[in-house]
Structure 1
Amino acid sequence: MKKQDDLILIHAPSIYDFRKLPIMHGPISDVVPSTPIFEMYPIGFTSLSEYLERKGFQVRIINVAMKMIKDPAFDAEALIRKLNPRAFGFDLHWMPHVQGSLALAEMAKRLHPETPVLFGGLSSTYFHEDLVQNYPFIDYVIRGDSTEGPMAMLLAAIRAKEPPRDVPNVTWRENGEMRVNPLSYVPETMDHIAIDYGHIMKKVVKYRDMTGYVPFTNWLEYPVTAVFTCRGCSYNCRTCGGSAYGFARYANRKKPAFRAPELLAEDIFRVCDHLNAPVMIIGDIYQAGDDYGERLLS
């Protein structure tokens, strides 16, 4: 008998009705490989799925934005109606997704009123109170830049049908009242996670769903990949939303959490084991000091 998915992570288009409405899209940076529909889901989906699977949870990713782009006849509502997870998760990481994420989350709650709806991402973290207070179809917001641990605890509470009173980083609703749990889960390193493209390939086979896992439109033709040196930053660049000040104020991160250079190298080699693709190292390899960079390059 097929096991019930504990969590289905859904990535929405920037605007849900983009196939019907006339939209004037603004410019996007050349470093963003997706279209203005922002069909690229956060790489955190990948690390979150891998981490939760190691903890014994069944997780699926569905890139609804990609499905809508690839197939003009694709019916998102029909897909969501036939799903049956213990919880739905939606990313609101980048602000362009606010309309699309809210629209699909409302749809999921309408079709599955007893199934919890979760939000996460940096924009969700910033607007966590607004989301819980003003959108009754959102049950939980997972705050911070590292949600793996709290998500595992929250899924365990959902399995047990218990309130998440002791789950860190969660904003939620109890008897109509908003509860804001302390943002106390702030790992000092990134060594507990992995960017494992092999994990994603196994998921594609398991669910027989290539499109649902492809990160952006032309990825199969040019499969750009990425690994991360850290979460957080040491600097306060005026044009960056991920500054040291921003992470300290909204994610309670006082200093960057670096991934050990040896593990970062393993991430790179793991990509090369599965894909003939360029690997972008996101983050200055010398931000943690000369020794970090030299260890990575040695």
Structure 2
Amino acid sequence: MKRYDAVFLHPPAIYDFRERPTFPGPIAYTVTESTEQFIIPPIGMLSIAEYLDRHGYRVVVENIGERMVQDKNFDVEGHIKGIEGSVYAIDLHWCVHAQGAIELAKLCKRLHPDSVIVLGGLTATRFHEEIIRKYEFVDVVIRGEAEKTFLELMNALDRGQKNMSVGNATLRVNGRPVVGPSAAPSESIDEFDFTRLDLLVPKSILFSKSRPPYCAHWSIPVCRGCVENCVTCGGSAYACARLLGRSRPSFRRPERIMEDLERLAEQGVKAVFLFQDPRMGGKRYWESLLSTLRKNGLPIDHLTLELFRPADAEYVKALAGLGVSVTLTISPESGVDHVRMAHGRNYTNAELIKTIEVCQENRVPLLVFFMLALAEDNYDTVKETWKLWEKICMMDQEARSEEYPITVNYGFGPMILLDPGSLAFDNPSSYGYRMLSNTLEGHIKQMEQPSWHQWINYETKYLRRDEIAKLILDTVEYSISLREKYGIYDRTTAFVEKFCYVDLSRLIMKEVDKIAELKDEKEKDTRLRLLQDKVREYFTKLGERAHAL
């Protein structure tokens, strides 16, 4: 049996997705890399594990979600039973993992009753008291930034302290949550290491050549914190202040980022996503960062960076001169100015178009990302967003060449879950939303429903949940047709994707809603399993028909 001091576990979104009938619908269309089980772990898991490892503790980061997706026969219970640890720590960073994280925590406690079960992450922080109060198998919730708190917890356990007072930790004492004092966030994130992929097992998804970006890849932060306040974001300035106690971002020194890239390259990583916009640190910071990268020479093949607002020619030209392939991403969320600005993105379509032109002039590909459905969205505003997508496709088609095959592209995703801890989650009526559930337990119950449209946790002043679901499918259908029109998809790909993600999803939604009206739970389960069998049969026939085309 393997023995560790701390075992970190990344869960799937839905723990028993292999046993229960589950219909992810268009979610599978928009998250192809991480899959609908969201199997890529948060970056912070590695920095926490490395921090403990550095201080002499034996640690491992187990990606249980990836193991379950990659191997349908993987025995979760047997695997975890064979890993002995004093502490089992499960990330509940993103709300989508609520059901998976809680079920995994329950399993760990059953298999290792004398161990300490810890949850952490932004979502766990937002619901820390509810978790300790309702889920007796969770012993500790670490709130906010966790590296130093986790070390303090491990040291206290080594001293035999059970009812210790640890900063940023909420514990159960006599059946009740006891909230430890809040600890100040780290002044500098330079002391943390986000590159220890050797601590992560497995990591085949990161080194896969069959999924985008088709090479070994990882992500590292420019900073921790944010200056923007997008109203549904759990990592906004508001959320960071409330959940992390961080009033301003801490930026990583350019020299440390260069070291990160070198360490990743030594491990075979070829592409890196440098997330958070360096321009938040001011011109002196981003100039220093790019100068350092350019002077030392990037040891990777591809670098992706974020734009939180439109970019000027000076910045894009500096990126183009880094000496490696660079891609930028920007997320206007909507193609309508007033919808975007109500969401917290304070720029216009004209500024966005100018950024596209600047990127094309400097041969820096740009991905423009949109989100459905926002507070001010309705059918008319979404159709206006579709028009902007077509303009983006036209701009790309006009600028393409053999050397520069993709100049600009768009992507989109349905919001589905409004982030806990965001401005809109905490004050929904002030921002045009209505929460269908505002507790962790409520979210888990929603995620245990069979179909994606039942997971949507909000409505807006213009759209009910069923209308949001319809709008999402209509948008997927439009996007597939648009990609076929501009040669991004061939006829076969468009046919397959429309059938899988639109036609089939519409049929499944109707059938699931009918089944939900049944009173007999056994009959419900039987009908859902029959539906799942039919869907699998459809996929088999689809494969045969696509092959014939």
TM-score over 0.5 for the pair: yes
Name the residue aligned to 1:220: 208
Deviation of the 1:32 alpha carbon? 7.3
| Structure 1 pair 192–237 and aligned structure 2 pair: CA distance change class (3 A) | same
Name the residue aligned to 1:110: 110
Deviation of the 1:26 alpha carbon? 5.2
Partner deviation per Cα, 1:54-92 (whole Å, 9 max, x = no partner)? 111111111111111121111101111222101100000
Name the residue aligned to 1:79: 79
Name the residue aligned to 1:156: 155
Higher relative contact order (CA 8 A, sep 6+): 1
Q: Where is the helix percentage greater, Structure 1 or Structure 2?
A: 2
| Structure 1 pair 27–19 and aligned structure 2 pair: CA distance change class (3 A) | same
Paired residues of 2:88 and 2:117 also in contact (CA < 8 A): yes
Paired residues of 2:7 and 2:60 also in contact (CA < 8 A): yes
Partner deviation per Cα, 1:241-296 (whole Å, 9 max, x = no partner)? 21111111222111112111211121122222322411111011111111111111
Name the residue aligned to 2:67: 67
Q: Could you tell me which of 197, 201, 216 is aligned with 1:200?
A: 197
Paired residues of 2:142 and 2:168 also in contact (CA < 8 A): yes
5 Å-filtered alignment, 1:53-202, equals 53-144=53-144, 146-163=145-162, 165-196=164-195, 199-201=196-198
| Structure 1 pair 270–218 and aligned structure 2 pair: CA distance change class (3 A) | closer
Partner deviation per Cα, 1:189-220 (whole Å, 9 max, x = no partner)? 21110122xx333x47xxxxxxx331x73633
Name the residue aligned to 2:285: 292
Paired residues of 1:90 and 1:118 also in contact (CA < 8 A): yes
| Structure 1 pair 153–264 and aligned structure 2 pair: CA distance change class (3 A) | same
In structure 1, distance between residues paired with 2:251 and 2:37: 31
| Structure 1 pair 164–30 and aligned structure 2 pair: CA distance change class (3 A) | farther
Paired residues of 1:14 and 1:96 also in contact (CA < 8 A): yes
Q: Could you tell me which of 257, 272, 285 is aligned with 1:264?
A: 257
Paired residues of 1:11 and 1:63 also in contact (CA < 8 A): yes
In structure 1, distance between residues paired with 2:276 and 2:155: 33
Mean Cα displacement is larger for which, 238-247 or 25-34?
25-34
Unmatched segments (≥5 aa) in structure 1: 205-211
SS of equivalent residue, structure 1 residue 8: strand
In structure 2, distance between residues paired with 1:136 and 1:11: 20
In structure 2, distance between residues paired with 1:227 and 1:296: 14
**How many residues matched?**
285
Q: Which amino acid aligns with 2:235?
A: G
| Structure 1 pair 4–81 and aligned structure 2 pair: CA distance change class (3 A) | closer
Name the residue aligned to 1:249: 242
State the identity %.
Answer: 38
In structure 1, distance between residues paired with 2:26 and 2:159: 46
SS of equivalent residue, structure 2 residue 279: coil
Unmatched segments (≥5 aa) in structure 2: 210-214, 292-549
RMSD over equivalenced CA pairs, Å: 1.9
SS of equivalent residue, structure 1 residue 19: coil
